[in-house]
Amino acid sequence: MRAYCIPSDGASAQLCDLKIPEPGEGQVRVAIKACGLNFADLLMQTGAYQDTPPAPFTLGMEIAGIVDTVGPGVSTLSPGDRIAVYSGQGGLAEYGVFDADRAIVLPDDSGFEDAAAIQIAYATSHMALDHRARLQPGETLLVTGAAGGVGLTAVEIGKLMGATVIAQARGENKLAVARAAGADHLIDASEDLRERVKSLGGADVVYDVIGGDVFKAAFRATNPEGRLLPIGFAGGDIPQIPANHLLVKNLTVIGVYIGGYLKFRPEAVRNSFDTLFKWHSEGRIKPHISHVLPLEDVAHAMQLLKERKSTGKIVITP
């Protein structure tokens, strides 16, 4: 089979020819129909991601496909079942072997591309805004990088939760995407973020995927008792948070990493997925997928992600 893999320590990511894997105890083999790309895939290629597997490994963190074979001890799934799996690795391939207890049986009306695009980005935003920040109806939510794969889901979920959403992104096209997802106010990345947010009454919750100076500006525009969610650092600079300012304004900075929840509280992630797929079936959320590309174009897809030339999600269809 073809797979986009890191063949050895220090090697570049590349298309590889691998033997089709066999499922072990408690595992299923999946014919992969779609795999969502994430910024973490870029980091894994250089070993900079906190959960980078040891080489050799295949990239691709979230998949949807059809169960091909079940391993010993699996009674909950059968060949032919349509499933989604937050796998963490192994998704950019024609086949993959995954733990059965991570699989979610897809509703009949969920397409593979949407199912692959929903898991990490939407669950990150749902866990962050609902489980961690406790966003309330009527509060103001600021989302930076609001047209990206994760930021756009925060706009959509924030509106579903009854918040007023301020979306920051670069350029008219990306701002239009954020507006279509429900943003109430738009701020171009070239504008003074702090002053614009303050002119709109400040932010009660900040969902930041950029870091650096963007986080610093958002921090200074946060209302007393506000909550800040540093989701990622796409700008490359991890901000240092002045603890004395936290005290003065009674602010809370909240860490969110759903991969961590899989290790110490997996039921929280599964509950989030159940909610998200229910919302999708009801038409309340709809993943924005800007590019659907074949496996041989993964390197190009990664470059689109790196250069921020995509909006929403990029999905690969092996």
250-271: pLDDT as tens digits: 999 999 999 889 889 989 999 9
40-59: pLDDT as tens digits: 999 999 898 888 999 999 99
pLDDT tier at 236, thresholds 50, 70, 90: confident
Q: Is the pLDDT of residue 60 over 90?
A: yes
Query: Within 13 Å and on the Cβ side, how many CA atoms surround 127?
Result: 27
Q: Shortest CA distance to 284 belongs to which of 132, 179, 135, 181?
A: 181
Given this model, what pLDDT does residue 107 score?
86
Percent of the chain as helix, strand, coil, to the nearest 5: 35, 25, 40
111-164: pLDDT as tens digits: 999 999 999 999 999 999 999 999 999 999 999 999 999 999 999 999 999 999
For the chain, the structural domain boundaries read: 2-119+266-317, 134-253
Residue 40 identity (one-letter amino acid): A
- Residue 39 near residue 305, CB atoms below 8 Å: yes
Q: Which residues on neighbouring strands pair with residue 203, listed in sequence order?
A: 222
CA angle at 132 for the pair 112 and 169, rounded to the nearest 5°: 65
Claim: this prediction has a pTM higher than 0.75: yes
Query: Within 13 Å and on the Cβ side, how many CA atoms surround 23?
Result: 24
Percent of the chain with pLDDT over 70: 100
Residue linked to tokens 């009854």: 162
CATH-assigned architecture of domain 2-119+266-317: Alpha-Beta Complex (3.90)
Given this model, what pLDDT does residue 124 score?
96
- Residue 173 near residue 189, CB atoms below 8 Å: no
DSSP code, position 34: E
> How many Å is the maximal CA-CA distance in the chain?
61
Superfamily of domain 134-253: NAD(P)-binding Rossmann-like Domain (3.40.50.720)
Residue linked to tokens 């893999």: 5
Given this model, what pLDDT does residue 259 score?
87
